[in-house]
Amino acid sequence: MLIVSEAAVAELVGPDDALAAVEAVFAGMADGTARNFPVVREALGHADALYGFKSGFDREGGVLGVKAGGYWPGNAARDLTNHQSTVCLFDPDTGQCRALVAGNRLTALRTAAAAAVSIRHLAPPDAAVLGIVGAGHQAAFQLRAALRERPFRRVLGWNRHPERLEGLAAVAAEGGLPFESAGLERLGRDANVIITITSSFEPLLRAEHVQGPTHIAAMGTDTRGKQELDPALVARAACFTDEPEQAAALGECQHAVAAGRLETAAITPIGEVIRGRHRGRGEGAELTLFDGTGVGLQDLAVAALALRRAEAQGMAREVAL
Ligand code: NAD
């Protein structure tokens, strides 16, 4: 069995690689050649942690595996990432464990890649202002990946604790872009692309905040009860997602679905747009929403890529089970 460390992943997989891998597996999901298995996610009743498994099988790619891990909110105080995960890849022909791949950086990359894929396929082509809501660990990855998808001219950021926006200002500066801290009203009004990436349990962006042709990538809500958007805003949008059933159960769409303002059948898998079977934003569409719930196949796609590269470059460590 092979082991691929966090340090190796950081050398081997970048934002463009993650985007290509995630885009391909979203397309495979829409084709029915790749499928996710039911997610397990439980509150441990210990360390305030959420723990679970995301797994799936990509038949075309020959990738079978599971990501185990979750969210430990006390980790930051210990100088550790709150999200902790490890991907286990199996040989689909024998069931033998092929590799353990460190999953922390890969999770950040694959989540940022999902939003970037949605911007590539759904954002207004001339989007000039990017808004980002949230400034935790994941936000810098989101911003870096998103900036590659449109020739943005400035970035607006909002966070509950605005002093934490400094890190995002630095990422914008890497791309030579001005960054401003903004209230949600201004951010919603001025931004043409908005990424939400918080752990909020109540709506932050309201329907009246968002004006004009806009694409929202709602990435923070991945658990029942979490919420970043006003359901009226979701109901107004053309809704896209990674996995419609999951979006309706535990993604941002859960609240509009529960309120009877959105049908699960009206949420389009983004793979349909990638494959060209759905027109995406379409003529005259004002508001598009990508509900990025996070699926196991995203994790497996980037982990399989890291493993292939680690093997090719002699960066995987072999151990006997
Ligand atoms: P983090 O703990 O580093 O940061 C949390 C962020 O949420 C901070 O900006 C914080 O200010 C903000 N926040 C927390 N509670 C809030 C509230 N009540 N109102 C407004 N803002 C609030 O976490 P992270 O690693 O940056 O991840 C952010 C969120 O994204 C988490 O909820 C995480 O579960 C989710 N996530 C989703 C996916 C996916 O695939 N959809 C993947 C990774 C992370």
Q: How far is the CA of 163 from the centre of ligand 1 (A)?
A: 16
What's the gap in Å between 197 CA and the centre of ligand 1?
A: 5
Please tell me which residue in 34, 55, 56, 67 is annotated as part of the active site. Answer: 67
Please say whether the beta carbons of 300 and 89 come within 8 A: yes
Spatial contact of 232 and 205, defined as CB atoms under 8 Å apart: no
- Please give the distance, rounded to the nearest whole angstrom, from the Cα atom of residue 6 to the centre of ligand 1: 21
Q: Which residues contact 308 (CB under 8 A, 6 or more apart)?
A: none
Which CATH superfamily includes the segment(s) 2-107+297-318?
ornithine cyclodeaminase, domain 1 (3.30.1780.10)
Domain boundaries, the chain: 2-107+297-318, 114-294
> Is domain 114-294 in CATH 3.30.300.130, yes or no?
no
pLDDT tens digit at each of 321 positions of the chain: 999 999 999 999 999 999 999 999 999 999 999 999 999 989 999 999 999 999 999 999 999 999 999 999 999 999 999 999 999 999 999 999 999 999 999 999 999 999 999 999 999 999 999 999 999 999 999 999 999 999 999 999 999 999 999 999 999 999 999 999 999 999 999 999 999 999 999 999 999 999 999 999 999 999 899 999 999 999 999 999 999 999 999 999 999 999 999 999 999 999 999 999 999 998 767 999 999 999 999 999 999 999 999 999 999 999 998
Question: Looking at the predicted complex, does its ipTM rise above 0.95?
Answer: yes
Instruction: Name the closest-CA residue to atom 32, ligand 1.
Output: 199
DSSP character for 103? -
List the residue whose alpha carbon is closest to atom 31 of ligand 1. Answer: 199
- Beta strand extents in the chain (DSSP E only): 2-4, 34-36, 40-43, 50-58, 63-71, 83-90, 97-102, 129-133, 154-158, 179-181, 193-196, 201-205, 214-218, 227-229, 238-241, 268-269, 287-291, 317-318
> pTM of the entire structure?
0.97
